[in-house]
Amino acid sequence: GIQVEQSPPDLILQEGANSTLRCNFSDSVNNLQWFHQNPWGQLINLFYIPSGTKQNGRLSATTVATERYSLLYISSSQTTDSGVYFCAVGRGGGADGLTFGKGTHLIIQP
Amino acid sequence: GAVVSQHPSWVICKSGTSVKIECRSLDFQATTMFWYRQFPKQSLMLMATSNEGSKATYEQGVEKDKFLINHASLTLSTLTVTSAHPEDSSFYICSASPLARETQYFGPGTRLLVL
């Protein structure tokens, strides 16, 4: 199956800092999503981005499908950004389950 | 839009009992839903794909007789953990995609504790 590697595994930053999270995957994919898992376990959709670049407020993401990696950028971090960020990929769009990376645990300190 | 609910949100049961977890798509229809399991401080692992009107597809290593899946309608899938044991204690999460769309939306999860 597809292998998904996320880096860094842990990241501690001060409020206001910027961060870049990386996701490498081992094969071609038709689905790539970024999620934020909150302290209660809910997965919050951040981006559906199998290719290209998207922005939503302080967050943006870029996927370079030909080189099999995706980046999630968080600017002007806030304490509420803390949590685990997961990258997940799939081959068949909505018809296939997702393979998750191990996540990046982000802590934003005030 | 694209809201997925799960019920119950948490359950505690005795070893040997069966537990049913419901996953509903509230504002869209889904021919396919997915069940994942997450152990503490670990990632999500796909357990099975639930197909409306047909048998579920299980990932390698997942016992289909232990985890029974029924997808009776385009908005409801159920996961039954049969004869639960302490090692089945975990966080179970379902997801679904609206028809003709590719983004998967996740439910809030169900925490199962087997004593």
Confidence of residue B72 (pLDDT cuts 50, 70, 90): confident
Statement: residue B106 has pLDDT above 80: yes
Put simply, whether A2 touches B (Cβ < 8 Å) is: no
> What does the pLDDT average to over B43-65?
92
Cβ contact A98–B103 (<8 Å): no
Hey, what are A44's tokens?
């919050």
Surface of A (44-83) touching B: CB under 8 A: 45, 48, 50
Residue A79 dihedral angles phi and psi, to the nearest 5°: -60, -30
Cβ contact A100–B109 (<8 Å): no
Put simply, whether A103 touches B (Cβ < 8 Å) is: yes
Is A26 in contact with A2 (CB distance < 8 Å)? yes
For residue A90, the distance in angstroms to the closest alpha carbon of chain B comes to 10
Hey, what are B85's tokens?
């044991």
Mean pLDDT of chain A: 95
Cβ contact A45–B32 (<8 Å): no
> What is the predicted pLDDT for the residue at B100?
64
C-alpha to C-alpha distance for B36 and A49, rounded to whole angstroms: 21
Statement: residue B39 has pLDDT above 70: yes
Using a 10 angstrom Cβ sphere, with 0-12 exposed, 13-18 middle and 19 or more buried, the burial of residue A106 is: buried
Q: What is the pLDDT of residues A2-12, one digit of tens each?
A: 999 999 999 99
Cβ contact B46–A97 (<8 Å): yes
- Cα→Cα distances B94→A56, B21, B25, B54, Å: 25, 10, 10, 18
Cβ contact B38–A48 (<8 Å): no
Is B96 in contact with B32 (CB distance < 8 Å)? yes
DSSP state of B87: G
